[in-house]
Amino acid sequence: MQRVAIVDYGMGNLFSVAKKTGKVHSQTIVASSVPDIEQADKIILPGVGHFGKAMNNLHSSGLMEILHHKVVEQKTPVLGICLGMQLMCNESEEGGLEGLKWIDATVKRFEIADTLRYKVPHTGWNNIRIEKKSPLMEGIPDNSEFYFVHSFRVICNDPGDILNTTNHETDFTSAFQKENIFGVQYHPEKSHDTGSRLIENFLKL
């Protein structure tokens, strides 16, 4: 049975992700050591909070090298959730640090003109549009709703990497995919049956 590692770098929602994933797949562990990640067949990078602090935590965790080896060299499927998605990018305005650089993208704060109608953080249920075919989206209808909580958005330099878009005054990238690398800005672990289906799809890769 395949092993699923949820990376613990001290930021956020890993236990709710582990609970949701564990309902789908029993061989799920919260991973904070190199051997845990080294043996993983799938990797989930969760996260809630500050980009700069998260990158500092990843550097101090000693997991950077094994994550890079597994994802970039061995092409192990990886799913970034919320902040975990943003960490995969080149850099962020939040904290001014470089990211993992797995995806050619930057992270910037929402710039909202109509602040009475559109709030930051972008919080609650919103629709996603599926921009390209992907096994991650199998059985998930276009315009499905997912749960969001975020103040920063991803801007992909390569439009071909964009998997989902969502509108919050203007359209933004709510999911991307490049080869084995998947990122979702929304929270599948909080998105009921549709979120469960997305996690099931990832584990089937």
- 68 classed as catalytic: no
| 82: annotated active-site residue | yes
Q: Which of 91, 94, 131, 189 is catalytic?
A: 189
**Residue 81 is which amino acid?**
I
- Round to the nearest angstrom and report the end-to-end CA distance of the chain: 13
Q: What interhelical angle do 192-203 and 14-24 show, nearest 10?
A: 70
DSSP string spanning 68-81? HIIIIIS---EEEE
CB-based contacts of 140, cutoff 8 Å, min separation 6: 130, 194, 197, 198, 201
Closest to 146 (Cα-Cα) out of 136, 159, 135, 133: 136
Q: Which of 82, 94, 150, 156 is catalytic?
A: 82
Catalytic member of 25, 169, 187, 192: 187
68: left (phi over 0), alpha (psi -120 to 50) or beta: alpha
- SS3 for 181? strand
Query: DSSP label at 137?
Result: G
Q: Which two tokens stand for residue 32?
A: 């904070």
Q: Is 156 a catalytic residue?
A: no
Q: Enumerate the active-site residues.
A: 82, 187, 189
